[in-house]
Structures are given as C-alpha cells and as structure tokens.
C-alpha cells in the first residue's frame, strides 16, 4: 500500500493544460525524485498535493494511506501529514527562528503564547537536526543556506509523513548540502516519504529510490534509480536532442565596452555584511559575458551596484568605452548607455496593470516621447519595433502586461531596454519561468544583439544557458570572483566547482 | 459612476419637486464642489503616486489665514495675498514630500502630523478669532460670476480648441505613416465634448453666468488632466505608484517626483484656500476641517486606488461632484445633519464596494 497516490491529475490554467493526467505514487520511507524542465509541471503538481490549489480546481484523486483526500487549503494538507518546502523561502525575516518554526502553531493557552515552551521545542528540534542555530535570532540575519535548513526544521515540526522539497539545495554550499542529506537520510529511516524536486541530477541519483520524469505536464516514466542512468533521464526530460536550442555564436569581440574595477557592495539591511567583495571585470563590444554562481552569490547585487541602483553601500570605478564614468543613479547609467533587464519581471521589471506601450516606453520615455510633454503616436511607433522583432504575442500595444504569458512579459521588459539604445545590456535571469519556445527566441535575440556590437552581461542560474550563450564566463562565490573561463575552457563541472568555492 | 451620478440627480430632482436640476441650483452645486474639486485634482496625483496627504484641510485653513492676515491686518494688496497663500501651500507640500521621499517616513504619518500641526498654526495665527476680508476683489474670487458674453466667448474658444485637437489627431495618424487621416471619425468623436461645453455654458448663463470658482476648477482640472495624461511627470507618477521598484530601475527619480507631486497638491491647496476664504468672506480657525477626507473620498469614488498606480482626474472630479450633489440634495430635502453624515459615509463605502466587485468580474 503506497503512502501517497495521486491519480490522473489534470490542472488547467487559462489557455494552458499544466498537468495532463499525471499519476504518482510514494511509499513510506521512500526518496522519490521528480525531475523535468522548467514548466514541465513539477511545481504545479506539488501545489495540487499541498492544497495551494484547493480541491475542485483540478481533476483527479489524491489518496493518503489509501484514503481519498480533498484538501481545501494548505492547512488540510498539513493535517494529513504533508509538508512542503517551496523554492522561494517562505520565512518571515523579521521574526526569530523559533517564531518562524511555530508560525501559526504557537504553543499557547487562550491565545497567550507560551514563549518558554516555544523556544524549548524549537531548540530541541534544531538539536535533533544537528543544526547549530540559535532559535532566538532573527531569520533575516542568517545566511540563505541556514534559512533553507530552518525551513526544513519548520516542516519537520509538523510531524510530516510526506515531505516535499522543491530545489532545496539551489542556495546551499556543499557542506550544507551534506548536512541536509544527512537529515534526509535519518528521516528516511523514520519512514518519512520524500518527494524531491531538483535540476541537480547528481544529487537526484545519489539519494533517490525512484525517479519520475515529467514533461509538458505528462508523466514520461518512473524508474528505479538503480536501473537508469543520467543520460537517459536527460533525454526523457527534454524529449529531443540537447544543445540545439542555443544559437551558434558568431560575434566578433571588439574594444572594451565596460570596465568595472574593485566593486564591493554591502547589504542594505545589515551594514557590515559584504555581498560583493572586490570584483573587477571587463566586457567587450559584441561579447556575451556570462556570470555564474549560486543563489545569493552576489550576482544581482553586482549588476545593481554598477547600475547605480543598489540600495546598500557600494564602491567601484567604472569605465565606459575607455572613459571614466560616474554613475550614481539608474538615470546616469541609462544616459551612459547601460540597459538592465532585471530579474523577477513581476517585481522589478513590469508595472503589471499598465499596457505594453506604457511599460516599453518607460525607461526611454524622454527620448522616445518628449522631454516634458508626451506624444502617444511617437510612443506607439517606437513600441512597434520591439513588438515585431521580439515577436510579442498580443493584440495591440495597449494590451495590459498582467494578462500576458511569462515569455511575452519577459520580451516586454527586454523591449523596454532595447528602446533606450543601450551599448551595454545586463540580463539578469532573462528566461526564468518561461517556456522553451520563448527561451529560444530570447537566446536568438541575445545572439543577434551581440552581433550588432552590443556588449552583453548575462546572469543566469541555469548553467546550460550560461555555457551555451557566453563567449566568456566569470564565476562568483559568496561575493568573490572565483573563476574565469573562456567558452572553450568552460565545463559544467569546472563552473560548478568555482560556484561552490571548491576550485 | 456616471450612472450613479445620473441616478442621484434624477432622484433629487424628483424628491425636491423639480428644484434640483434648475440652473440656479446647478450653479450653486458647481460652486460648492469647486474647493473640494481643486484639492481633489492634486490629491489624485498624490494618490496615484502611492501616497496620501491628510494635511490639506489644515493647510487650507493656514494658507487662508495667511491670505486674510496679509489683506486685512497687514493691509497688503490682493496679489501679495495670492502669492503668499500659494507659496505657503507649495512650501508645506515640498516639506511633506521631502520627509516622505528622503527620510522614508510614510506619507500617512507625515501628513497626519501635519493635520495636527498646521491646524494648531492657524489657531495661533488667528488667535482663535475670525478675520473678515475687507478687500472686495478678494471676495469676488469666491462669489462673482463671469459676464454672460465672456462665458459664450470662452465656449467658442473651447470649441475651436476641441476641433483643432481633433484635426491634429487625425492628421498625426497620416503624418507618422500609420494610415489615412480619418477626419470624419475624429469630428464625430468631438461632438460629445462640444455638446458638453454648450450645455454647460447655457445652463450657467441661464442663471447668473459661470461662477469664478467653477471657472478656476475647470482650468485646474484641465491642467491636471493634461499633466496626468500627456506629460512625462504624469506618466512617472503612475509608474511609481504602480511599481516603485520597476520605476526606479527604469531610471525614474522616484524621490524627486514625489516631492514634486506634493508641491503640486500644495499649490492647489493654496488656490483652494483663496477660493474658500473668498467665498466665506473671512478666515476662521476651523476653515477646511475634514476637507482632506472629502478630497480623498472624491478620488476613491472616482476609481482611484489607494495602493497607487490607478486613478483619473476625470474620476476625481466626478467623485467630487457626486459628494457635492449628495450634500446639496440632502440640504434641499432638509435631511438632518447627522443623517447626512451617515448617508454620505455609507455611500462612500458602497460605491467603492461596487467598484471592486465590478473589477473582480472583469
């Protein structure tokens, strides 16, 4: 009898069938990995399981211990023994570790919290996991890896029978990963069933009993880990030859377009926390420079500090086209010919309730439309260029960006920066959460822009993307430059070693 | 919301034995809404930027007090009083904006403090007394009407302007190579504003002519509409209110624009103070009490979001007109004072509730 059985799950969003009849089983004490490309439906499936998408918003059955379950919300799933650790940390940074672990389940009597009991339980829990974390410190003061471990402690405080881990090691150092795997091994012995979502196939193979591959919302196959190898899993994930989605780079590197010297940046919240430590690099005209590193390595902070947009303290020297340049604000950076396709388009890139036209003209408004008085006609004409060249699928420039697909939204952000006529373009996670088709179009566009002589700085957490697009790669680890590779030298192993500080 | 206004008007017209929709009452109604309307135009811009200003009522009292003090006590001329009132408004606006933008104190707190402090300042300035306005020209700002002929002349100018804009719109399509110029279509679209202009002047002139405060409101509202729709500053306000991070990273100086928008509201509060003081004929310590809430209510009824990023000048003016219509209609019906407040409060919440329900469905 399986611990968990999901039968024929179908979940539809407007215009997309995210899950198309997925079935999945988990045994007690089993480590079952779920792999697949971004958008294959892994996270959606887990949201169905954990009640984020309540009963009735999807088709299919969920059985725990052979009993049909109908989760109306996360609480229902939790009380059935299902705990989930999402990709994005869901901790409250301003609360302490202990408060976070027991958030919503504080030991209390008549609504009065028993603090002594809370912290006692929390420190016991942390000790059981061999985590040397003080339950009374604020979560925000911990490193991202320790936060991840707190998140796991929180899940365990609920006596979970089924633990879902969505990319838990993305931000961890190697030693933290070892700690985590030690904990998971113990849980396995206790009979906890684990569903593990990861892109890191080494980890998947190291830990798994079984591996299920999802593609385009369907189950491709479930295998015993011992009976399959990595290449077969990759082939099943992509369902086609790997490597053909990156264009063949054919750009000539020219003079140095942007030179950054001795850049250091500090946390905006904790004054003395150095996030980028004395980094220097150049990027040439027509060159694609990849910046690799794990989450929290300081890549975004680096770009923000160059752009004059970092909100903490920072220092650096910048030369553009060989001339010293002073950049104190994004407006300065734009005037000097730097464009910045920021990460997290919904948070930093778009004004979701405004139209494509309004978003696309925002950064270059004064040069496109007029210094003080705007001209709609000129704006429409300007926006048509990128809409056409980037093949943005929308009825008109007046479509509200919030209604677009992720890929089209990303293209709007890219279009916004192309309209500022940049000489140097920063791209921070330009393809996160968008479908393969749109990715391929953005890759082609990056290549095309480099051909025109634009200098491109690409930050991406997807290693194949950095390797496939870059002429040269620099690697950051905990804010320091730990590696530099030409396209020919770079291998996933070398870059990963540098990114984890192991070279 | 236009439908709501229509319903309110029809109901009051019927309930007041056909007094409500007479030229005389409409003229009064428009005059009554003009002070709130002028403030609402500035408030709308502040709200669109994601901020709020609770101090405008107190600032109105203070700026009005300064103007009255200058004219009556110091015996300065009217121009000095006007400059002083507007300058006081702008200075306080810049102060509020700077504290909000550069010291990161929430606008709600900054202006809540202002609400108390500037009210105190009025009381101190006036020594608890009411200062009457002796200057007749000053009083005219709030009480006189445009001669009928000038009203019609303005109508002609306005109609010519509408026609010119229609022509320019049609022509720009052709000039920029976006298609053929559709002169007939643009002309048809111009019929509604032209009809509105004629009807407005005709109704106002059927009583005593366009009241000066109403003329000021029209000018302010048109300028506000132009700023929000057709200037980079206006677009930046919507961007900052819609997503402050995205705006900042797009090279917009959020802080400076927030100071500017508070300064604009301050200037308009100064103008409103002159209109209010002129209309009442004196400056009193309690002048403008609760005006901030009327202005905010007008914006919200008109569809502005207090979260920022959404709202129109037209909506804010419509909201002010709805509020003024309720005041005026209920007064005509001799609804008791406390009942008026209860009804106004309920309608404010209901109007926004309906608006939110409509939004959810779409």
What six digits make up the tokens of B299? 């914006």
Are the C-beta atoms of residues A312 and A266 closer than 8 Å to each other?
yes
Q: Are residues A376 and A479 in the same domain?
A: no
Q: What are the angstrom distances between the C-alpha of A261 and each of A265, A277, A484, B211?
A: 12, 11, 16, 66
Q: Are residues B128 and B6 in the same domain?
A: yes
Q: Are residues A397 and A465 in the same domain?
A: no
How far B177 CA sits from the closest chain A CA (Å)? Answer: 9
Q: Which residues of B touch A352 (CB under 8 A)?
A: 242-243
Question: What sign does the CA torsion over B58, B63, B67, B70 have?
Answer: positive
**pLDDT tens digit sequence for B78-92:** 999 999 999 999 999
Q: Are residues B76 and B154 in the same domain?
A: no
Q: Which residues of A touch B242 (CB under 8 A)?
A: 351-354
Instruction: Tell me what percent of the residues of chain A surpass a pLDDT of 70.
Output: 96
Q: Are residues B118 and B38 in the same domain?
A: yes
pLDDT of residue A240 exceeding 60, the answer is no
Q: Are residues B49 and B156 in the same domain?
A: no
A88: pLDDT confidence band, cut at 50, 70 and 90? low
Domain final residue pick, A213, A238, A263: A238
Pairwise pLDDT comparison (B13 vs B174), residue with the higher score: B13
Question: Is A370 close to B235, i.e. CB distance below 8 A?
Answer: no
Chain B residue closest in CA terms to A337: B251
Chain A residue closest in CA terms to B233: A372
Q: Which residues of A touch B233 (CB under 8 A)?
A: 372
A86 occurs within a structural domain? yes
**pLDDT tens digit sequence for A337-393:** 999 999 889 889 999 999 999 999 999 999 998 889 998 888 998 999 999 999 988
* Average pLDDT in chain A: 88
Question: Does residue A254 sit at the B interface (CB-CB below 8 Å)?
Answer: no
What is the model's pLDDT at position A242?
47
Q: Which residues of A touch B48 (CB under 8 A)?
A: none
Question: Is B247 close to A351, i.e. CB distance below 8 A?
Answer: yes
A87: pLDDT confidence band, cut at 50, 70 and 90? low
**Main-chain phi, psi angles of A325, to 5 degrees:** -130, 135
Question: Does residue A136 sit at the B interface (CB-CB below 8 Å)?
Answer: no
* Residues β-bridged to residue B132: B282
Instruction: Compare CB distances from A365 to B172, B232, B243 and report the shortest one's residue.
Output: B232
Helices in A199-322 by DSSP H: which ranges? 201-207, 230-238, 299-306
Q: Are residues B126 and B256 in the same domain?
A: yes
d(CA A335, CA A329): 10
Residue A112: Cβ within 10 Å count: 8
Are the C-beta atoms of residues A8 and A15 closer than 8 Å to each other?
no
Instruction: Compare CB distances from A330 to B233, B243, B251 and report the shortest one's residue.
Output: B251
CB-based burial label for B5 (10 Å; 0-12, 13-18, 19+): middle
pLDDT of residue A239 exceeding 90, the answer is no
Instruction: Compare CB distances from A374 to B178, B232, B251 and report the shortest one's residue.
Output: B232
Average confidence (pLDDT) over B9-33: 94
Question: Does residue A101 sit at the B interface (CB-CB below 8 Å)?
Answer: no
For the domain that residue A81 is a member of, what is the CATH number?
3.40.50.300
Domain final residue pick, B208, B223, B258: B208
A243 occurs within a structural domain? no
A229 occurs within a structural domain? yes
Are the C-beta atoms of residues A150 and A138 closer than 8 Å to each other?
no
A343 occurs within a structural domain? no
What six digits make up the tokens of B31? 């005059």
**pLDDT tens digit sequence for A122-131:** 999 888 877 7
**pLDDT tens digit sequence for A211-228:** 999 988 888 889 898 888
A342 occurs within a structural domain? no
Question: Is B232 close to A370, i.e. CB distance below 8 A?
Answer: yes
Q: Are residues A116 and A144 in the same domain?
A: yes
Question: Does residue B48 sit at the A interface (CB-CB below 8 Å)?
Answer: no
Q: Are residues A184 and A83 in the same domain?
A: yes
Instruction: Compare CB distances from B239 to A330, A340, A362 and report the shortest one's residue.
Output: A362
Question: Does residue A367 sit at the B interface (CB-CB below 8 Å)?
Answer: no
d(CA B113, CA A326): 39
Q: Are residues B217 and B348 in the same domain?
A: yes
CB-based burial label for A227 (10 Å; 0-12, 13-18, 19+): exposed
ipTM score of complex: 0.88
Give the structural domain span for A323: 253-337+422-438+446-503
pLDDT of residue B355 exceeding 80, the answer is no
Q: Closest Cα partner for B240 from B292, B311, B186?
A: B311
Question: Does residue B253 sit at the A interface (CB-CB below 8 Å)?
Answer: yes
Q: Are residues B221 and B113 in the same domain?
A: yes
Mutate to test the interface with B, among A327, A362, A380 (most CBs of B within 10 A): A362
Give the structural domain span for B122: 2-144+211-361
Q: Are residues B224 and B171 in the same domain?
A: no
How far B230 CA sits from the closest chain A CA (Å)? Answer: 5
Q: Closest Cα partner for A337 from A350, A349, A320, A322?
A: A320
Average confidence (pLDDT) over A163-171: 82
Cβ neighbors of A136 (< 8 A, separation 6 or more) are A96, A97, A98, A119
Q: Are residues A81 and A138 in the same domain?
A: yes
pLDDT of residue B362 exceeding 60, the answer is no
Question: Is B250 close to A416, i.e. CB distance below 8 A?
Answer: yes
3-state secondary structure of A491: coil
Cβ neighbors of A39 (< 8 A, separation 6 or more) are A433, A434, A435, A436
The secondary structure of residue A96, as a DSSP letter, is B
Q: Are residues A69 and A197 in the same domain?
A: yes
Q: Closest Cα partner for B356 from B293, B307, B290?
A: B307
pLDDT of residue A270 exceeding 80, the answer is no
Q: Are residues B41 and B128 in the same domain?
A: yes
Question: Does residue A287 sit at the B interface (CB-CB below 8 Å)?
Answer: no
Question: Is A358 close to B247, i.e. CB distance below 8 A?
Answer: no
**pLDDT tens digit sequence for B284-293:** 999 999 999 9
CB-based burial label for A322 (10 Å; 0-12, 13-18, 19+): exposed
How far A223 CA sits from the closest chain B CA (Å)? Answer: 45
What is the model's pLDDT at position B240?
97
Mutate to test the interface with A, among B48, B237, B246 (most CBs of A within 10 A): B246
What is the model's pLDDT at position B360?
61
Total of domains in chain A: 3
Total of domains in chain B: 2
Question: Does residue A365 sit at the B interface (CB-CB below 8 Å)?
Answer: yes
**pLDDT tens digit sequence for B201-226:** 999 999 999 999 999 999 999 999 99
Render A169-221 in DSSP notation, one character per residue: TTT--HHHHHHHHHHHHHHHHTT-EEEEE-S-HHHHHHH-SEEEEEETTEEEE
What six digits make up the tokens of B231? 């200037």
What is the model's pLDDT at position A109?
87
Q: Are residues B300 and B201 in the same domain?
A: no
Mutate to test the interface with B, among A351, A354, A426 (most CBs of B within 10 A): A351
Q: Are residues B152 and B295 in the same domain?
A: no
Q: Are residues A47 and A8 in the same domain?
A: yes
Average confidence (pLDDT) over A168-190: 82
A501: pLDDT confidence band, cut at 50, 70 and 90? confident
Average confidence (pLDDT) over B11-31: 94
Instruction: Compare CB distances from A354 to B234, B238, B251 and report the shortest one's residue.
Output: B238
Instruction: Compare CB distances from A347 to B173, B234, B245 and report the shortest one's residue.
Output: B245
d(CA A190, CA A173): 26
Q: Are residues A314 and A389 in the same domain?
A: no
Chain B residue closest in CA terms to A420: B250
What is the model's pLDDT at position A118?
92
Helices in A17-143 by DSSP H: which ranges? 42-49, 74-79, 97-101, 115-128
**pLDDT tens digit sequence for A463-482:** 888 999 999 999 998 899 99
Question: Does residue B3 sit at the A interface (CB-CB below 8 Å)?
Answer: no
Average confidence (pLDDT) over B279-300: 95
Chain B, window 173-202: residues with a beta carbon less than 8 angstroms from a chain A beta carbon? 173, 176, 178
Question: Does residue A402 sit at the B interface (CB-CB below 8 Å)?
Answer: no
What six digits make up the tokens of B240? 């900052």
Pairwise pLDDT comparison (A157 vs B324), residue with the higher score: B324
How far A308 CA sits from the closest chain B CA (Å)? Answer: 9
Q: Which residues of A touch B310 (CB under 8 A)?
A: 353
Question: Does residue B252 sit at the A interface (CB-CB below 8 Å)?
Answer: yes
Pairwise pLDDT comparison (B180 vs B140), residue with the higher score: B140
Domain final residue pick, B187, B208, B229: B208
Q: Closest Cα partner for A164 from A316, A3, A301?
A: A3
Distance spanning both ends of chain A, measured CA to CA: 46
Beta strands A424-428; A455-459: pairing state: parallel
Chain A, window 294-353: residues with a beta carbon less than 8 angstroms from a chain B beta carbon? 307, 309, 329-331, 333-334, 340, 342, 347-353
Q: Are residues A455 and A403 in the same domain?
A: no
Question: Does residue B232 sit at the A interface (CB-CB below 8 Å)?
Answer: yes
Inter-chain contacts counted by CB atoms under 8 A, chains A and B? 82
B264: pLDDT confidence band, cut at 50, 70 and 90? very high
* Average pLDDT in chain B: 93
Q: Are residues B53 and B17 in the same domain?
A: yes
Q: Are residues A41 and A139 in the same domain?
A: yes
Q: Closest Cα partner for B7 from B296, B329, B340, B333?
A: B329
Instruction: Compare CB distances from A351 to B173, B233, B246 and report the shortest one's residue.
Output: B246
**pLDDT tens digit sequence for A426-462:** 999 998 877 777 888 899 999 999 999 999 999 988 7
Q: Closest Cα partner for A90 from A54, A52, A117, A134?
A: A52
Question: Is A330 close to B233, i.e. CB distance below 8 A?
Answer: no
């Amino acid at each position: 009898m399986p611990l968990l059985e999901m039968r024929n799950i179908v979940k539809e969003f407007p215009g997309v069938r995210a899950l198309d009849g997925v079935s999945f089983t988990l045994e007690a004490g089993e480590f079952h990995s779920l792999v697949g490309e971004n958008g294959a439906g892994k996270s959606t499936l887990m949201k169905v399981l954990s009640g984020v998408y309540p009963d009735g918003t999807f088709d299919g059955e969920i059985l725990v211990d052979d009993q049909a379950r109908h989760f109306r919300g996360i609480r229902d799933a939790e009380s059935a023994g299902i705990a989930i650790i999402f990709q994005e940390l869901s901790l409250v940074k301003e609360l302490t570790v202990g408060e976070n672990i027991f958030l919503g389940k504080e030991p209390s009597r008549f609504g009065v919290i028993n603090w002594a009991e809370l912290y006692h339980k929390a420190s016991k829990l942390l000790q059981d996991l061999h985590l040397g974390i003080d339950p009374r410190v604020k979560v925000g003061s911990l490193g991202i890896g320790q936060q991840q471990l707190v998140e796991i402690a929180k899940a365990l405080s609920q006596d979970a029978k089924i633990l879902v881990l969505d990319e838990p090691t993305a931000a961890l150092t190697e030693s933290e990963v070892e700690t985590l795997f030690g904990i998971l091994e113990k849980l396995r012995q206790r009979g906890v069933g684990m569903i593990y979502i990861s892109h890191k196939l080494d980890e998947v193979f190291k830990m798994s009993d079984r591996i299920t591959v999802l593609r385009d919302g369907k189950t491709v196959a479930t295998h015993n880990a011992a009976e399959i190898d990595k290449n077969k899993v990759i082939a099943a994930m992509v369902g086609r030859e790997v490597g053909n989605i990156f264009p063949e780079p054919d750009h000539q590197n020219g003079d140095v377009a942007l030179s950054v010297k001795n850049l250091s940046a500090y946390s905006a919240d904790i004054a003395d926390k150095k996030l980028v430590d004395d980094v220097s690099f150049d990027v040439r005209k027509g060159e694609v420079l990849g910046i690799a590193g794990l989450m929290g390595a300081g890549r975004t902070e680096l770009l923000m500090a160059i752009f004059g947009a970092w909100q903490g303290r920072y220092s650096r020297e910048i030369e553009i086209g060989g001339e010293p340049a002073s950049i104190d604000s994004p407006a300065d950076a734009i005037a000097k010919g730097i464009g910045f396709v920021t990460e997290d388009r919904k948070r930093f890139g778009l004004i979701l309730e405004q139209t494509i036209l309004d978003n696309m003209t925002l950064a270059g408004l004064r040069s496109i439309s007029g210094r003080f008085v705007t001209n709609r006609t000129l704006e429409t004409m300007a926006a048509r260029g990128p809409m056409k060249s980037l093949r943005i699928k929308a009825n008109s420039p007046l479509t509200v960006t919030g209604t677009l697909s992720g890929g089209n939204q990303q293209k709007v952000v890219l279009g916004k920066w192309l309209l500022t006529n940049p000489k140097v373009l920063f791209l921070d996670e330009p393809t996160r959460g968008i479908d393969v088709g749109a990715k391929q179009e953005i890759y082609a566009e990056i290549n095309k822009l480099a051909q025109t002589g634009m200098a491109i700085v690409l930050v991406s957490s997807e290693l194949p993307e950095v390797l496939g697009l870059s002429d040269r790669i620099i690697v950051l680890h905990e804010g320091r430059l730990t590696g530099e590779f030409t396209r020919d030298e770079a291998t996933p192993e070398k870059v990963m070693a540098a990114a984890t500080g192991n070279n | 919301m236009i439908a709501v206004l229509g319903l309110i008007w029809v109901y009051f017209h019927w309930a007041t034995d056909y007094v409500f929709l007479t030229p005389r009452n409409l003229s009064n109604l428009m005059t009554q809404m003009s002070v709130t309307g002028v403030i609402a135009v500035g408030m709308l811009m502040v709200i669109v930027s994601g901020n709020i200003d609770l101090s405008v009522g107190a600032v109105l009292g203070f700026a009005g007090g300064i103007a009255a003090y200058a004219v009556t006590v110091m015996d300065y001329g009217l121009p000095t009083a006007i400059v002083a009132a507007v300058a006081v408004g702008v200075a306080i606006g810049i102060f509020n904006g700077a504290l909000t933008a550069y010291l990161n104190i929430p606008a709600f707190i900054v202006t809540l403090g202002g609400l108390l402090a500037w009210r105190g300042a009025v009381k101190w300035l006036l020594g608890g007394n009411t200062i009457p306005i002796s200057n007749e020209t000053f009083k005219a700002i709030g009480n006189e009407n445009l001669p009928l002929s000038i009203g019609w002349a303005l109508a002609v100018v306005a109609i010519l302007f509408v026609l010119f804009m229609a022509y320019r719109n049609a022509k720009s399509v052709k000039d920029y190579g976006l298609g053929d110029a559709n002169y007939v279509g643009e002309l048809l679209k111009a019929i509604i504003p032209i009809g509105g202009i004629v009807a407005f002047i005709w109704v106002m002139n059927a009583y005593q002519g366009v009241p000066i405060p109403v003329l000021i409101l029209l000018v302010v509202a048109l300028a506000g509409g132009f700023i929000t729709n057709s200037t980079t500053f206006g677009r930046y306000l919507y961007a900052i209110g819609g997503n402050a991070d995205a705006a900042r990273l797009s090279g917009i100086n959020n802080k400076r624009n927030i100071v500017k928008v508070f300064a604009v509201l301050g200037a308009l509060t100064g103008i409103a103070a002159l209109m209010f003081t002129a209309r009442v004929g004196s400056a009193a310590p309690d002048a403008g009490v609760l005006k901030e809430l009327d202005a905010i209510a007008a914006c919200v009824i008109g569809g502005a979001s207090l979260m920022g990023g959404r709202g129109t000048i037209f909506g804010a003016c419509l909201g002010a007109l709805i509020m003024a219509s309720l005041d005026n209609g209920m007064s005509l019906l001799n609804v008791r004072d406390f009942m008026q407040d209860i009804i106004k409060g309920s309608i404010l919440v209901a109007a926004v509730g309906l608006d939110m329900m409509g939004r959810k469905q779409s």
